Homo-oligomer: A and B are copies of this chain.
Amino acid sequence: MESWTIENTSLNNQELLTNESLFSLGNGYIGVRGNFEEGYQEGMTSIRGTYLNAFHDITDIEYGEKLHGFPGKQQKLLNVIDAQTVEMHVNGERFSLFHGDLTDYKRTLNMKKGFVERSMKWKSNQGDVVKITSRKLVSFHTREFYTIEWTVEPLTSRPVDIKMVSRVNGDVANFSDPNDPRVASGHSKRSKVTGVKEANGCFVVENETYESCLKVACATSTSFYFDKYDYDFTLDNKGIEEVYTATINEPVSFVKSIVYTDTLRHGEQTVEKAIEILNEERHVPFYEHLKRQENDLNQFWSTADITISGDEELQKGIRFNLFHLLQSAGQDEVSNIAAKGLSGEGYEGHYFWDTEIYMLPMFLMTHPEMAKKLLLHRYSLLDSARERAKEVGHKEGALFPWRTITGTECSAFFPAGTAQYHISADIAYSFIQYDLVTGDEQFFKEYSAEVLMETARLWLDTGHFYKGEFRIDNVTGPDEYTCIVNNNFFTNVMAQYNLEWAKKAFDRLKDYDHSLIEKLGVTEEEAARWEKAARTMYLPYDEERGINPQDDTFLQKAVWDFENTPSDHYPLLLNYHPLTLYRYQVCKQADTILAHFLLEDTADEETIARSYDYYEKVTTHDSSLSYCVFSIMAAKLGKVDKAYDYFMKTARLDLDNTHGNTKDGLHMANMGGTWLAIVFGFGGVRVKESGLSFAPNLPKEWGGCTFHVYYQGNVVQVEMEEAKTVYTLVQGNQLAFNHKGQSITATKDCVVTVTH
């Protein structure tokens, strides 16, 4: 059972901010950081935050020099009304973990049951001893709901006077740090309180944002379980305070029920809706919420869980990553998965390519219905992408923004933002993957085909034919240490695939449904141009080294002087001007190597192997999106030890805070990357038009590893061991797949064992 929990067994003041991210709870809609309900001590920093996925204000982007097409506005995920606060006073002395005497402290994130618990024994300065247990749960059953329970037990013989203070505070702001480009600067206060009221034991605080004029309502109610107590409440123009006082000599418990509604999901009736939901939930006992939560999580873990024998810390790390992916995934029409999920404010709650390339695969192959919702959200941004293409200067097509919440470009630095045109192909790729994994023709016809054709149009308008080849100039690939280049290999292969599939979509639809083709005005000639551009796509290849160059001139540059770069100069982006970085062969992350993973058939195995060896030497992994790709490719190339080393850097990146900025939120793409590294890396899973295939390669450190994949209505359980792989069809009747070149058909109730 321990490998289902993450624990703090002592209080470390240096780790408080990091732990706020690690112990954050969420359900795809609400995210609550792992703050202490009672707060820290005066003078200590806390990023005290509650977020609603996509709930944002609009802020100005400032430029010293603003050129045409630079976005003037961006969205910013807002810290909303703070309902976390619960304070306690024992015989008049305020409880805090930072004074008095703390023993038996334990904080636990229970990932199987989906809640956080703190249990502690505390002795006040006056000598009173109490045992406190606080539990927090953000509900998957009712996405608008979360709840906090405190139980307090006096451990001294004499009765103690206890005071519980519960607050809801609408006067909130975001965290800001002007010196770190990776966290927001300025614009920290972006909403105002517009209403505070009490109605039949419910309290409601309403906020409205400054510019986007979005409203959020937070309805709360509290209960105090003890025979006799006094109660009072106060409302002011910022929020609510409730006070319970009692003299206790036995355990007492306090429960706070919290509901958030917002304009994006609940329209104008946020208050009414919040009260309605609260009234449904507030009378459900806490243990019942726990039960519901566990049921919902069981459903998730049934296919998402991965078990590894032989390394409990790793097992925890993997579940931790999967659990947070679940907690972050927007499942409604207005939200997606932010780069930091709902665990922090880094990257301002924006959605990047991270979703499609790093996170979506886990959902797609374990819970395709969740992947579908993420794709539907991305589809909803297609019109904005069409507008953006025009704004930048394209005649047609859809250019998806590098970072966004509502669909408009929010990147303030285009060389590593808007210039990353590959995001449009990445999105197309994810719709193709969805098609291959689910075979959902209705979805293809209604959504995927349109995305494929509009992005294909972008490529045609971006690239050009030169000496018989189709070339794409002036874009930035995934590696942000080399910006604005011609013929980035990654971009070109992804665009090629995009164009091929646009032609396929045209051919597929024209046989039975012309409506989309007519709506978009696609002609046979246009579709033929897509095919031609794909067929003649220029893919740079260096004869001398036998590798794919990252772009036209990457290999002509000098190699970065790694030997003379002090270790405290990493990450390089915090220590060198971008121009200096661009001038050398040095990669922030996988670029060509990622292309070789996503589209492995575009290069032969020897080229892939040589490229791997070459780029590995010049990659700093300053991006958290890098290790997992290197791990997958090392596994593919049979370098299992190396794959394992890289994998271990992904698995506990946040738990061990190896990037040093977990306080700003969890690295969600890396978390998705952990799943990819196991399933696509060690499991060797691929999904292509030719079908599903496996190529297991178990690291020698592990006794075994079990995972599940969904494929076209079936779910297969894969148990990898050193000497064999066992395939069990746990859903569906029959599934044909390939195991290292061998065709296998698994049928219901029949276990297939392949010995190595």
Contacts and interface: CB of A to CB of B under 8 A. Distances in A.
Contacts of A475: 579
A577 B66 contact: no
Contacts of A558: 464, 466, 473
Given A484-B484, A582-B484, A576 B69 contact: yes
Contacts of A393: 575-577, 579-581
A401 B364 CA distance: 51
Given A394-B580, A466-B558, A484-B579, 5 more contacts: A64-B412, A65-B412, A69-B576, A414-B579, A552-B552
A574 interface: yes
**How many chain copies?**
2
Contact of A553 (B414, B552, B577, B578): B552
Give the one of A475, A556, A577, A582 with max B CB within 10 A.
Answer: A577
Interface string A389-407: 0011110000000000000
A486 B485 CA distance: 10
A67 interface: yes
A135 interface: no
B412 A575 contact: no
Contacts of A474: 557, 579, 582-583
Contacts of A65: 181, 411-413, 416-417
A598 B355 CA distance: 52
A63 interface: yes
B64 A413 contact: yes
Overall SS of chain A's interface = loop
A471 interface: yes
A581 B474 CA distance: 9
Contacts of A573: 67-68
A661 interface: no
A483 interface: yes
Nearest to A475: B579
A61 interface: yes
Nearest to A421: B579
Interface string A58-78: 000111111111100010000
A462 interface: yes
A626 interface: no
A124 interface: no
A39 interface: no
Give the one of A416, A486, A578, A582 with max B CB within 10 A.
Answer: A578
Interface in A546-567: 552-553, 556-558
A21 interface: no
Contact of A473 (B63, B576, B583): B583
Contacts of A556: 466, 471, 473, 486
Contacts of A74: 64
A704 interface: no
A61 B185 CA distance: 13
A195 interface: no
Give the one of A67, A74, A464 with max B CB within 10 A.
Answer: A67
Given A65-B181, A583-B474, A577 B466 contact: no
A732 interface: no
A571 to B, nearest CB: 10
Interface in A628-673: none
A321 interface: no
A502 interface: no
Interface in A419-475: 419, 462, 464, 466, 471, 473-475
Contacts of A418: 577, 579
